[in-house]
């Protein structure tokens, strides 16, 4: 039996509410919008129209997946970052709002510079490097590096969607192991930084669905940050910048690590929740 789009949405939202999904109405709408490939306005104007049994079944399968804890972004294959829609799939970390702070600070840092090169380490979906390239055309080459084939496949799709094939280089590499020996103006990274002991305390939607290698780092969460900082010295221009996203209560320790390695001009920036989220340093040697 066919039901109207409006009644199907109400039922779907009710299921999500019972499953303790906070934004149950909004997410039910987004799941249907993606399924039907329609805008929110089109869905609103079509609420009285009937939905076929086949589409109803497909919709409620998606509702059930979300109710069981699967992140909305993996179901819709869309993640919003810096006011853009990025393709996202399992195997790539879901872009988060706090990472936009890193992009914002890098853009301010390089506002007046010309003909720059950038390396986005642990790029995942490519949201950082791609956004930098879209927001500032003076990035003439952007290297997008990750150790995960699945993440780089996702990144490649986003590069194509945003038309940056000519200015980006995608590299499958364990950190800098196969990165060409060239010098960069900026190296930025949102690396794994959650310590192993904290993994089981993560929200189930993260713990059970997002890629563990993109989350967990040894040495109490500092292994990747320290290794990147050490290796980046050979890849930064004189007065080039290294910029990290870091976890809660990590910024001061990261600052000490970077100073010990030889970086200077350390600056820490808060995210919108007043958490020290971004650490920026200059390489002067």
The model carries a pTM of 0.94
| Per-residue confidence (pLDDT) for residue 250, from 0 to 100 | 97
The CATH classification of domain 89-283, taken from the options 1.10.10.10, 2.30.40.10, 3.40.50.170, 3.40.50.150? 3.40.50.150
Question: Pairing mode, if any, of strands 264-270 and 276-283?
Answer: antiparallel
In the structure encoding, which two tokens stand for residue 74, read together? Answer: 């993996």
**Domains 3-68 and 89-283 alike in fold:** no
Please answer whether residues 195 and 220 qualify as being in contact, where contact means their C-beta atoms are separated by less than 8 angstroms. yes
| Per-residue confidence (pLDDT) for residue 284, from 0 to 100 | 87
- Torsion angle, alpha carbons of 187, 191, 193, 197, to 10: -150
The CATH classification of domain 3-68, taken from the options 1.10.10, 1.10.490, 1.10.3470, 1.10.8? 1.10.8
| Per-residue confidence (pLDDT) for residue 3, from 0 to 100 | 87
Domains of the chain by residue range? 3-68, 89-283
Cβ neighbours of residue 256 closer than 8 Å, sequence gap 6 or more? none
Q: What is the pLDDT along the chain (285 residues), one digit of tens a residue?
A: 668 999 999 999 999 999 999 999 999 999 999 999 999 999 989 899 999 999 999 999 999 999 999 999 999 999 999 999 999 999 999 999 999 999 999 999 998 889 999 999 999 999 999 999 999 999 999 999 999 999 999 999 999 999 999 999 999 999 999 999 999 999 999 999 999 999 989 998 999 999 999 999 999 999 999 999 999 999 999 999 999 999 999 999 999 999 999 999 999 999 999 999 999 999 987
| Per-residue confidence (pLDDT) for residue 285, from 0 to 100 | 76
């Amino acid at each position: 039996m066919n039901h109207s789009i409006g009644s199907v949405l109400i039922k779907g939202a009710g299921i999500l509410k019972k499953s303790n999904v906070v934004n149950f109405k909004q997410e039910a709408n987004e799941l249907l919008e993606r399924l039907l490939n329609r805008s929110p306005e089109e869905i609103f104007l079509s609420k009285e129209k009937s939905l076929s049994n086949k589409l109803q079944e497909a919709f409620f399968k998606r509702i059930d997946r979300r109710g069981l804890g699967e992140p909305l972004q993996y179901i819709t294959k869309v993640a919003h970052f810096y006011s853009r829609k990025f393709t996202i799939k399992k195997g790539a970390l879901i872009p988060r709002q706090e990472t936009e702070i890193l992009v914002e600070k890098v853009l301010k840092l390089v506002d007046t510079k010309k003909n720059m090169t950038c390396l986005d380490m642990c790029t995942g979906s490519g949201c950082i490097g791609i956004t930098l390239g879209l927001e500032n055309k003076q990035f003439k080459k952007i290297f997008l590096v990750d150790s995960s084939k699945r993440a780089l496949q996702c990144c490649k799709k986003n590069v194509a969607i945003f038309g940056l094939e000519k200015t980006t280089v995608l590299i499958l590499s364990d950190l800098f192991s196969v990165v060409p020996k060239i010098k960069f103006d900026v190296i930025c990274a949102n690396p794994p930084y959650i310590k192993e002991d904290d993994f089981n305390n993560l929200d189930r939607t993260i713990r059970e669905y997002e890629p563990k290698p993109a989350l967990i780092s040894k040495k109490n969460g500092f292994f990747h940050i320290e290794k990147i900082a050490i290796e980046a010295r050979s890849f930064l221009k004189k007065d080039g910048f290294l910029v990290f996203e870091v976890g809660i209560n990590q910024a001061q320790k990261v600052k000490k690590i970077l100073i010990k390695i030889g970086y200077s001009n350390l600056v820490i920036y808060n995210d919108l929740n007043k958490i020290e989220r971004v650490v920026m340093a200059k390489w002067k040697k």
